[in-house]
Copies of this chain bind each other. A is one copy, B any other.
Amino acid sequence: MSTPLNIALLGAGRIGQVHARTIAYRVASARLAAVADVNTAAAEACAAQYRIPKASADPLQLINDPGIDAVLICTTTDTHANFIEAAARAGKHIFCEKPVAMTLAEIDRALAAVDKAGVQLQIGFNRRFDANFARARQAVVSGEIGKPAMLHIISRDPAPPPLAYVKISGGLFIDMAIHDFDIARFLSGSEVDEVYAHADVTVDPAIGEAGDIDTAVTLLRFKNGVIGTIDNCRRASYGYDQRVEVFGSAGAIQTGNVHPNVATLSDGASVRQDLPLNFFMQRYTEAYASEIEQFVAAINAKQPVPVNGQDGRAAFVIALAAQRSVAERRPVRISEIQ
Contact = CB atoms under 8 A, between A and B. Distances in A.
Given A237-B267, A247-B231, A272-B272, A202 B262 contact: no
A254 interface: yes
Contact of A237 (B229, B250, B261): B250
A332 to B, nearest CB: 12
B237 A268 contact: yes
Interface string A176-213: 00000000000000000000101010110000000000
Interface string A243-280: 00101011111111111111111111111111110000
Contacts of A145: 265, 267
A214 to B, nearest CB: 10
A269 B273 CA distance: 9
A233 interface: yes
A7 to B, nearest CB: 18
A330 interface: yes
Given A147-B202, A217-B150, A271 B273 contact: yes
Given A152-B231, A231-B152, A249-B202, A238 B266 contact: yes
A255 B250 contact: no
Interface stretch (A95-103, A132-140, A161-169, A313-321): A132-140
A264 B253 contact: yes
Given A238-B271, A331-B330, A247 B156 contact: yes
B268 A238 contact: yes
A5 to B, nearest CB: 18
B262 A271 contact: no
B271 A272 contact: yes
Contact of A198 (B154, B202, B219, B233): B219
Nearest to A254: B264
The 10 nearest A-B residue pairs measured at CB:
A251-B267, A272-B272, A238-B266, A256-B262, A270-B272, A25-B25, A217-B227, A131-B261, A229-B229, A135-B263
Interface of A: 24-25, 131-132, 134-136, 139, 144-147, 149-150, 152, 154, 156, 196, 198, 200, 202-203, 215, 217, 219, 221, 225, 227-229, 231, 233, 236-238, 241, 245, 247, 249-276, 329-331
